[in-house]
Structure 1
Amino acid sequence: MRRSRRIAPTLVALVAGGLQAVSMAAPWNGQPLWWLQLLSLALLGWQLKRCADRELSWSSSTWTGNADRPSTVAQAGWLGWVFGCSWLTGTFWWLYISMHTYGGLAAPLAAAAVLGLGAALALFYALACAIFMAILRPLPHVNSGFRAILFAALWTAAELARGSWFTGFPWGAGGYAHTDGLLAGYAPWLGVYGLGAVAAWVGMTLPRLLHCGVGSRVALVFLLALPSVAQVGNPASTRAAGTLAVTLLQGNIPQDEKFQPGTGVPQALKWYAEQLRDAKTPLVVGPETAVPLLPQQLPEGYWAALQQRFASGKQAALLGVPLGDITVGYTNSVVGLKPGQAEPYRYDKHHLVPFGEFIPPLFKWFTAMMNIPLGDFNRGELGAPSFEWQGQRLAPNICYEDLFGEELATRFADPATAPTILVNLSNIGWFGNTVAIDQHLQISRMRALEFERPMLRATNTGPTVFIDHRGQVTRELPRLTRGALLGEVEGRDGLTPYARWVSRFGLWPLWALAGVLVGLALLVRRRN
């Protein structure tokens, strides 16, 4: 009996974290489950409430004296860490595939690496929960609204820290579960982190709903209804800016063959050359590393023929291709080809993938254990100019760069030159046919919502899609198929509130707001 009481809160936190992982993209259909994300936080909030009320029986059943009993601060930190570890490892477990299946890392080491990453990142949430309890411990009678606001502020600070520090890895942030649902309307105003803050407030309020005052219940209804009411009164912050017919290419070259000179390379060169030659739409987009070799490594005449294909006429192309040489260094790039240009348009990836495109200091020993083509790329310019074609300004981003909305926002600093269309070129074949594909789609949908811009996604293994400015997928090519997806995209002008403030100040307003709220809570604690 005593043992079950000790482990029950840990099991609840473990299950709640797993539910949070599932909420971003359900494994059975790839769709987000916004209500499940709120439920997962409500379960964590329930356990923190029990902890705050000193109702966690596992501690008192083990230590007989109050002086020897572990503090509720440590208990809360433990629950936050268990929740975070379960959530994060359950979200990006597919990293195991890239390290073991394609990298040749021994299975136990690959599993340990994923668990280690999840455990390390979960420390942000452990700290948030511990501070939450440390502030509340001397305030047993504080109202539920105060608790919920404090939790949301600390939880948001943890999300911001995970997404910004040490190159940042915000994959699976709680707000991504809300590309659909009641809270989606907050995205053009607050972005994914602000939306996640609202969700954290709601999640902490739900366990206390039966016992909280009328004011908290009214506030909950107001926050849930506000986005829908606002959309009726002000449907969009942006306006239509013309249409463009586009062909998106999905080569579906198996990842274990993609860079092999005898199989994947000639296969890719042949197929993409044929598709570019035969395309009829004004714009053709190929995925990341559609051309898997440096231009100087290509068969004689191949690169010149590609440029000549789009040197005249009324068509243009955006293609993923590595560029550079041993003297100037290498970049993971997008090349834009169109009639009348003196030099091809070039976009170089800015936010590089740790261990994939650069090796962090002190970790060469780890990468040495893997048989995988790791790069050491140069970073591109932040806020690079758009590719202009037929009245549209297209802003390329490569692979998981669309995970960093605050970096994409630098292109919106000047409304006159802000992109009208976002274009993501990806290759996430490293992670197999897993939920990683669905999760990345939710990330792209969130960027479309935040900026009210359509997003074109050309990927190697899928899904290659058209996303409209409301974040809805309008056309889709099934994953793990080879083909071309034709459609029409409507560009958008104007800036959302999120685009305006984040392009000027980055994420600092959210940091500042979280800091002010925590500071006020500390002041209340001191006075009491």
Structure 2
Amino acid sequence: MTAKAVSGHRALAAAALLGALLPLAFAPFHLYPVAFILAAVLFLLWEGCSPRRAALISFVFGFAAFAAGCYWLYISIYGFGGAPIPVVVLLMLGGFVLQGLYLAVAGYLAGNLRVESRALRWCFLWPAAFTFVEWLRTWVFFGFPWLGLGYGQIDGPLRGWAPVIGIHGVSLVTLIIAGSLLTLIRGSRNDRLVAGLALAVVGTTSIALYDREWTVAAEDELRVGLAQGSIPQDRKWLPEQLRPTLQLYGKLTFTDADLDLVVWPEVAVPAVADRVQGYLDALDEQARERGLQLYLGILTRDADSGQYRNSLIGLGQSRAEYHKRHLVPFGEFFPVPDFARRWMRSAGLPSQDTLAGERAQPPLPVGSHSMAPSICYEDAFGTEQLDFLPEASLLMNVSNDAWFGDSIAPHQHLQIAQMRSLEAGRPMLRTTNTGITAFIGADGRIVARSEQFEIDVLRASVRPHTGSTPYMRTGNWVVIVLCLCLIGFGGYLTRR
């Protein structure tokens, strides 16, 4: 079967089905072998296609994958954002079309890499093209790193590659396996020998890396509590809800006298800091008396511009601040012309830009250690946490996945956080408003987790980690340069 054999609309229907099945490779389904199968069939659909035809097939695949895997965007845009239906449809279709266009670029590249050897195409060149485009979509046009193929391997046999070559490296290895399996089935004798060798190298290396420890646990432990207030999103910002929210988080913080650190979720305090300064001062004093370090999410106001910032502030043993650097487009800032912003204001829609924090910010202290902070989906951008490493010995993410209700989004987000821990060889403290709050080990495995939509203080003893993983030193550049070299080599052979 190729796109020529499955001609016309049937090939596009097959691509749509493949894309719609892709979310099964990720949390909460965890069917990681699905990624190998779907990628192999996609490569088969590319076979024999013109660049434009391969691009169209890939566009349909990408559109369907993100429509099925990120349907939950409508919950935040419509359910909580209150946007009119036409705006919801426009934003969601626009987002899915954009993601489809990224994949179309991968298909177009693959269609231009028409070397004679199937093993070279399927095992190396096409995986490189796909991986390169996956990297592009993490930063071009604001970036949206969801559904990177490597995330599905967090519980699979390829997990050991993450501390060495990162998420995109895991994606590349996933695609090499997919291409090799296809070559074993459809390739010539010589092609099958190459594919078998590729699988042997990947397999033995995966075994060697599987439980390799790159960082070292400290001798001391931190007793940590992660507060999950589970405030319904539709009530969080009601004026009458402010006092009960403050009382609840205060109670969750100080009921256990044995904790060294307590972390509240993103904007756990639904107010601007200068409006609740008395409450914050009281928290600070009480935390100091108990020898406690407290970090809480709150809005702060920039003194110069007057704009709001999405912030983490530290109280108690150390006073510190972190301001969110990577803002959510159409959520925290609106890249639209002035006339559109005026219309949004007149329609009662959010239109005010949040101020992004500076790129260079110090890690947050906790005792003799420090933490690499991230807010919301900042933890989806793996290289951004490298700014704090190797100095930071812990990772910390605060989020509010209540925006997406009881959908698959919180599970996907937790899986992304697991990858960040695995890449850095650092435990992560992850607290969210309605779940899934979790302690993640330095090996990327979940140590403890809360139930969703329950009030809880998740407690655990955590050992900070020091040292560096190979990925921490090189970031994505090893994989991206390798992909570019393979694409360039394939282009050279095609035109020779």
Aligned in 2, Cα 1:86/1:239: closer, same or farther, shift over 3 Å? same
> Deviation per CA, 1:248-272, whole angstroms, max 9, x where unpaired?
1001111111111023x22211101
Asked if residue 518 in structure 1 is aligned to residue 492 in structure 2, the reply is no
Following superposition, the deviation at residue 225 of structure 1 comes to: 3.5
**1:513–1:370: structure 2 CA closer, same or farther, 3 Å change rule?**
farther
Q: Which amino acid aligns with 2:129?
A: L
1:394 equivalent to 2:392? Answer no
Deviates more, 1:197-206 or 1:370-379: 370-379
1:266 aligns with 2:243: yes
| 1:350 Cα deviation from its structure 2 partner | 0.6
Q: Is the alpha carbon distance of 1:100 and 1:397 closer, same or farther for their aligned partners in structure 2, counting shifts above 3 Å?
A: same
- Choose the corresponding residue for 2:200, options 198, 221, 225: 221
Q: Is residue 360–residue 387 contact of structure 2 (8 Å, CA) maintained in 1?
A: yes
Matched-pair contact (CA < 8 Å) for 2:157–2:210: no
TM-score, L = length of structure 2 = 0.92
Q: Distance in 2 between matches of 1:229 and 1:220?
A: 14
Q: Deviations over 1:238-257 (max 9, x none)?
A: 01113211011001111111
Q: Does 1:450 align with 2:423?
A: yes
* Residue matched to 1:302: 279
Cα deviation, residue 37, structure 1: 1.3
The one-letter code of the counterpart of 1:454 is: P
1:509 to partner: Cα distance:
3.6
8 Å Cα contact 2:113/2:125 also seen in 1: no
Residue of structure 2 equivalent to 1:18: 20
Q: What corresponds to 2:135 in structure 1?
A: 160
- CA distance in structure 2 between the aligned counterparts of 1:154 and 1:13, rounded to whole angstroms: 18
Do 1:247 and 1:487's aligned partners in 2 also have CA atoms closer than 8 Å? Answer: yes
- Written as runs of structure 1 = structure 2, the 5 A alignment for 1:453-468 is 453-468=426-441
2-11 or 446-455, which moves further after superposition?
2-11
Which amino acid is the alignment partner of residue 199 of structure 2?
L
Q: d(CA) in 2 for partners of 1:213 and 1:259?
A: 60
Pair 1:422-2:386 in alignment: no
Query: Which ranges of structure 2 fall in alignment gaps of 5 or more residues?
Result: none
One-letter amino acid of the counterpart of residue 84, structure 1 = G
Amino acid at match of 1:158: V
Structure 1 distance, partners of 2:146, 2:410, is 12
Q: What is the Cα deviation at residue 277 of structure 1?
A: 3.0
2:159 maps to 1:184: yes
Partner of 2:451: 478
Distance in 1 between residues matched to 2:29 and 2:348, nearest whole Å? 34
Distance 1:16 1:365, change over 3 A: farther
- 1:59 is aligned to none
5 Å matches for 1:76-91?
76-91=54-69
Separation in 2, partners of 1:372, 1:485:
36
Distance 2:414 2:363 in 1: 22
Whole-angstrom CA distance in 2 between matches of 1:388 and 1:327? 26
Aligned to 1:438: 411
Deviation digits for residues 32-88 of structure 1 (CA, Å, limit 9, x no counterpart): 221111111112112112x34xxxxxxxxxxxxxxxxxxx22211111101111111
Give the equivalent residue in structure 1 for 2:44.
46
Partner of 2:93: 115
Deviations 1:257-309 (A, max 9, x none): 1111023x2221110122223232111111011111112222x7312201111
The corresponding residue for 1:69 is none
Worse-matched range after superposition: 376-385 or 38-47: 376-385
What is the alpha-carbon distance in structure 2 between the residues aligned to residue 364 and residue 91 of structure 1?
29
* Equivalent pair of 1:99/1:370 in contact (CA under 8 Å): no
Contact kept, 8 Å, 1:33 with 1:178, in 2: the verdict is no
Please state how far the C-alpha of 1:432 moved relative to its aligned partner: 1.0
Deviation at 1:144, TM superposition (A): 1.4
The answer to whether structure 1 residue 255 and structure 2 residue 233 are counterparts is yes
Q: Which amino acid aligns with 1:261?
A: P
2:74 pairs with 1:96: yes
Q: CA deviation at 1:222?
A: 2.2
Checking the alignment, whether the CA contact within 8 Å between 2:122 and 2:182 is kept in structure 1 is no
Deviations along 1:467-494, one digit per CA (max 9) or x if unpaired, are 1011111111100111111111121100
Q: Which residue of 1 aligns with 2:256?
A: 279
Structure 1 residues 443 and 383: CA distance shift in structure 2, 3 A: farther
1:7 deviates by 2.2
Match of 1:489 in 2: 462
Distance (Å, rounded) in 1 between the aligned partners of 2:430 and 2:255: 20
* Superposition CA RMSD, Å: 2.1
| Structure 2 SS opposite 1:262 | helix
Letter of the 1:406 partner, please give it.
Answer: T
Cα shift at 1:385:
1.6
CA contact (8 A) 2:285 2:316 kept: no
In the TM superposition, what whole-angstrom CA distance separates every residue of 1:370-396 from its partner, at most 9, and x where no partner exists? 755565222112242222223321222
| Unmatched runs of 5 consecutive residues or more in structure 1 | 53-71
Counterpart residue identity of residue 496, structure 1: T
Residue identity matched to 1:316:
Q
Tell me, yes or no, if the aligned pair for 1:105 and 1:369 is still in contact at 8 Å.
no
Distance 1:188 1:369, change over 3 A: farther
Number of residue-to-residue matches in the alignment: 484
